[in-house]
């Protein structure tokens, strides 16, 4: 009899403990957010002479980002600073009382467009009139407008496909080289093995002259995780392609890149990029670049 009474009391206490939220054990901590996807590109566009990338990716930071690309080869203006910003960032600044603005249907277009500006990058040649000004970052400005045409943010991290268009202008001061203008179609498929393909058209010309070069860019690449825990994965990317110019001249290129996230917002990269022949007169056939990039709100669009 006493045993049954004790058992009944134990069951009653256990039922009260289960019903009382204050006495319940705390829920397990949420998993740490994964770092921003590798398709998020913040550094200099591939058309810039300091860019470590042979390929352009379709992703960009949700709000804004800044990056520094440092070429290991000695020379003037061997460092490039890039600022990446989206219209969604300005929309959130104007409407701070709506923290979930990015999910609103009327802001879908804002989340699909990004503008990127790069200051710096080695000039193609040194002006004889102003040799002391070769190291000024303002001598080399690259601007890019990118728009995601098909796909959404879920396709970048899953197995879906994303199609984007990038319009770029690479301008140098008079006496330091040729200007380049390009349009690139970017196709990417996510998953454990990220596949990227670029198809673009470029025009190279000199201001106030008739010198003009037309070229077609075809390139593809793959990126995958080598090792590392979920919060700090180390990834390797390999790429290859060619520039097709007039008279069927093909310039074959290849590249490799290693990405090492430091925090959710900060990423360190080391890359090399090789070309069979200089892309433009005065350029090197090999470049080695160390990059540091930071993205605000790592979710890509």
pLDDT (tens digit, 9 = 90+) per residue, 160-209?
788 999 999 998 876 667 888 999 999 998 888 889 999 999 998 765 56
C-alpha torsion 274→71→178→166, nearest 10: 80
Instruction: Give the global pTM.
Output: 0.78
Which tokens is 50 given? 């300091």
Q: For all residues of the chain together, what is the average pLDDT?
A: 78
Q: How far apart are CA 35 and CA 105, in angstroms?
A: 26
Alpha helices in 153-262 (DSSP H): 153-157
pLDDT top residue among 94 and 161: 161
Which tokens is 85 given? 């910003």
Q: What is the mean pLDDT of residues 99-111?
A: 59
Cα 206 to the center of its chain, rounded Å: 29
Percentage of the chain exceeding pLDDT 70:
69
Q: How far apart are CA 126 and CA 135, in angstroms?
A: 10
φ and ψ at residue 101, rounded to 5 degrees: -60, -35
Q: Would you state the pLDDT for residue 262? A: 87
pLDDT top residue among 131 and 281: 281
If one counts every other C-beta atom within 10 angstroms of the C-beta of residue 162, the result is 25
Q: What distances in angstroms separate CA 74 from CA 29, 41, 271, 289, 293, one per listed residue?
A: 48, 25, 16, 11, 22
Domain 64-296's class?
mainly beta
Indicate the burial class of 41 (C-beta count within 10 angstroms; 0-12, 13-18, 19 or more). buried
Cα 231 to the center of its chain, rounded Å: 18
Cα 223 to the center of its chain, rounded Å: 13
Indicate the burial class of 68 (C-beta count within 10 angstroms; 0-12, 13-18, 19 or more). middle
Q: Which residues of 198-236 are buried (b: 16+ CB within 10 A; e: fewer)?
A: bebebebeeeeeeeeeebebebbbebeeeeeeeeebebe
Q: What is the mean pLDDT of residues 26-40?
A: 54
**18: which strand partners?**
none
Which tokens is 207 given? 């201001």
9-20 pLDDT, tens digit per residue, is 444 444 444 444
Which tokens is 270 given? 């080391």
109-124 pLDDT, tens digit per residue, is 778 899 999 998 887 7
Q: Would you state the pLDDT for residue 141? A: 92
φ/ψ bin of 228: left (φ > 0), alpha (ψ from -120 to 50), beta (otherwise): left
SS3 14: helix
122-143 pLDDT, tens digit per residue, is 877 665 565 556 567 678 899 9
Q: Is the dihedral of CA 82, 83, 86, 89 positive or negative?
A: positive
Q: How far apart are CA 248 and CA 246, in angstroms?
A: 5
Q: Would you state the pLDDT for residue 289? A: 94
């Amino acid at each position: 009899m006493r045993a049954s009474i004790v058992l009944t009391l134990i069951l009653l206490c256990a039922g009260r403990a289960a019903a009382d939220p204050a006495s319940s054990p705390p829920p397990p901590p949420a998993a740490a957010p994964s770092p921003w996807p590798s398709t998020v590109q913040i550094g200099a566009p591939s058309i810039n002479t300091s860019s470590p990338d042979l390929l352009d990716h379709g992703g960009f930071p949700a709000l804004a980002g800044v990056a520094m690309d440092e070429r290991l080869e000695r020379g003037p203006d061997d460092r490039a600073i890039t600022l990446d910003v989206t219209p969604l960032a300005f929309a959130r600044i104007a409407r701070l009382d709506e923290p979930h603005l990015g999910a609103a249907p009327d802001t879908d277009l804002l989340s699909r467009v990004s503008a990127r500006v790069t200051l710096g990058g080695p000039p193609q040649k040194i002006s004889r009139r102003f040799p002391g000004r070769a190291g000024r970052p303002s001598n080399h400005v690259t601007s890019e407008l990118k728009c995601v045409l098909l796909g959404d943010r879920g396709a970048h991290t899953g197995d879906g496909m994303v199609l984007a268009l990038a319009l770029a202008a690479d301008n140098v001061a008079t006496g330091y080289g040729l200007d380049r203008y390009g349009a690139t179609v970017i196709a990417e498929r996510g998953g454990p093995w990220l596949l990227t393909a670029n198809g673009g058209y470029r025009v190279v010309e000199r201001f106030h002259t008739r010198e003009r070069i037309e070229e077609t860019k075809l390139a593809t690449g793959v990126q995958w995780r080598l090792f590392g825990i979920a919060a700090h994965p180390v990834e390797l990317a390999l790429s290859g392609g060619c520039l097709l110019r007039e008279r069927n001249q093909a310039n074959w290129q290849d590249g490799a890149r290693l990405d090492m996230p430091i925090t959710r917002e900060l990423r360190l990269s080391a890359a090399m990029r090789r070309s069979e022949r200089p892309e433009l007169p005065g350029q090197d056939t090999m470049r080695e670049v160390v990059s540091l990039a930071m993205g605000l709100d790592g979710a890509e669009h």
